[in-house]
Amino acid sequence: MAAFVGDTLLPRLNQIERQLTELERLRFESLEQRLVELEKRIDRQDTRWERVTAATGTGRLDARAALHQMMVKAFSLADMATLCLEMDIEYDELPGDTISHKVTSLIAYIGRRNQRSDGEWDLSNLVKKLKEKRPSYKWPDV
């Protein structure tokens, strides 16, 4: 009887192990595909941001681009989380996983939240906070 159980269970266990291995492989491939898709989306967003900030004759956009570049250089992701906390902004709600994307999201969020009647974004509170956090930088007026 023990030989019968071993003869029937062992092949079944091997089959289950092969199926699990295949499922893990498929799941890994699915995660890899998702990662590639997300990286493409990030690249498209970067391209869009570069096009917007490269617009000539738009002093506000140039200033925002400068602000973005300086923030990326001056802050880490951990610094950004602290900055958001101090400004009462939910850091985890800002889209993006990289410092560049978090900065883009923060500037856009604050700009939309503080839009003036003429449609321009008021980022003065952000710049004021940046000057407090990194006084050695020459932050642009936006």
Opening angle at CA 89, ends 114 and 55, nearest 5: 50
Q: How far apart are CA 25 and CA 1, in angstroms?
A: 36
Over residues 8-30, the pLDDT tens digits come to 788 888 888 999 899 898 898 99
Compute how many other C-beta atoms are within 10 angstroms of the C-beta atom of residue 65: 20
Is 71 within 8 Å of 56 (Cβ atoms)? no
User: Domain limits of the chain?
Assistant: 1-54, 58-142
Mean pLDDT of 25-44: 88
Over residues 52-72, the pLDDT tens digits come to 655 545 555 678 888 999 999
What pLDDT score does 59 carry?
53
